[in-house]
Amino acid sequence: MSETIPFQQALQGIEPLLRSMTQGFTQEPKASIQSLQQLLNTQPSKALSTSMTSALPHDHDDRLQKLAHLREEALACIRCPHLVASRTQVVFGVGNPFAELMFVGEAPGEEEDLKGEPFVGRAGQLLTKIINAMEYQREEIFIANVLKCRPNMPPNTSGNRKPKLEEMTTCLPWLKQQIELIKPRVLVALGTTAVEGLLGKAVLMRDMRGKWFDFQGTPLMVTYHPAYLLRNQSLSEKRKVWEDMLQVLEKLERPISEKQRGFFLSK
C-alpha cells in the first residue's frame, strides 16, 4: 500500500483495531496495525498524529496479543461469586491499546453492565466532552474501572452502589496488568472511590484533587468524577476539573491554546 493513502481511508482501516477492544479481538490484529501504520504516514490532524505516533511501540503486535489474552481471561473471571451471580458481563475497558492517557473510574453501573463498556451514561457523555475539550477523541485514550463487575444490588432495588474496598482490591490485579501492557504516560483517577481502589486505603478528595501521585511508576492525577459535576454544575467546580486536565496536558507536553486555558473562568 502506498504511503499516500487518504487519511480517511487509513482511519477506517484502524476501526477494527479500536472496535476489537470492546468486541473481543475477533479481527486479526496485524491487518489493523498495517492500517495504523498507514494512518501515521498520512497527514492527520495534529492531535491524532501526536497521540498515535507516540503510541505505536516496537512491540505493538506482542502487546495487542497479550492484551487480547488478558481480556479473555478477565471476561471469564469468577473471583467474586456475589458479583458473578448478578453481573451481565465483565466490563474490561475500552480504547486505544497504545494510549498515552488512561482514565480510571470506580466500577460499572447499570448501563455499563448492560453495554459492556465503561462510562456510557450521562457521566460518560460528560467525560467524552472533557476528553474532546482536551483535543482528544475518546477512541485515542483508554478508559477502565478499578472494579470490572457491577456491584450487586439488593433484590428489587434500582440504582448503583459504591464498590467496597475489598472488592476493588480483589479486582485491582486486572487493572494493573492493563496498565502494564498499555503503558500510558499519565493516569487520571476519577473520584474518591477510584483513588481508594487504586491506593487501597480511604482518602479525602479535598487532600488529593489536583495533585500528582505515583501509581507503580506512572504519574497519577486525581480529579472529581464526572457524576459529581452533574450534581454540582457550578463554574468553580468545572474549572477545578479543567485545571486538573490542563496539568495532564502539560505533563503530556500537548499544545494548549489560550482558548483552552480560559475554559470555565468567570468573566
- Residue 246: its H or E element: helix 235-251
In 3D space, the residue among 258, 225, 265, 227 whose CA is nearest the CA of residue 243 turns out to be: 265
Residue 161 as a binder of ligand SF4 (CB under 6 A): the answer is no
10, 14, 64, 90: residue in contact with ligand SF4 (rule CB under 6 A): 90
Do the beta carbons of residue 42 and residue 4 sit within 8 Å? Answer: yes
Residues in contact with ligand SF4, counted by CB under 6 A, come to a total of 14
Q: Would you say 101 and 12 are in contact if contact means Cβ atoms under 8 Å apart?
A: no
Closest approach of ligand SF4 to the CB of residue 146, in Å: 9
Alpha carbon distances (Å) from 97 to 60, 129, 163, 182: 9, 21, 26, 6
- Residue 52: exposure state from Cβ atoms within 10 A (0-12, 13-18, ≥19): buried
Q: Which is nearer to ligand SF4, 90 or 222 (CB)?
A: 90
CB nearer to ligand SF4: pick between 170 and 177: 170
Q: Which region among 21-29, 35-43, 83-91, 186-194 touches ligand SF4 (by CB under 6 A)?
A: 83-91
Is residue 170 near ligand SF4 by the rule CB under 6 A? yes
Q: Is 83 in the site for ligand SF4 (CB under 6 A)?
A: yes
- Distance of closest approach, residue 169 Cβ to ligand SF4, in angstroms: 9
Instruction: Name residues contacting ligand SF4, limited to 37-76 (CB under 6 A).
Output: 74
Structure-block grid coordinates of residue 118: 465503561
Q: Which stretch binds ligand SF4 (CB under 6 A): 5-13, 27-35, 109-117, 170-178?
A: 170-178
CB of 229 to ligand SF4, least distance (A): 26
Crossing angle of helices 46-54 and 29-40, rounded to 10°: 130
Which residue, among 215, 214, 195, has the nearest Cα to 204 in the 3D structure?
195
77 is an interface residue for ligand SF4 by CB under 6 A: yes
* Contact footprint for ligand SF4 (CB under 6 A): 74, 77-80, 83-84, 90, 147-149, 170-171, 174
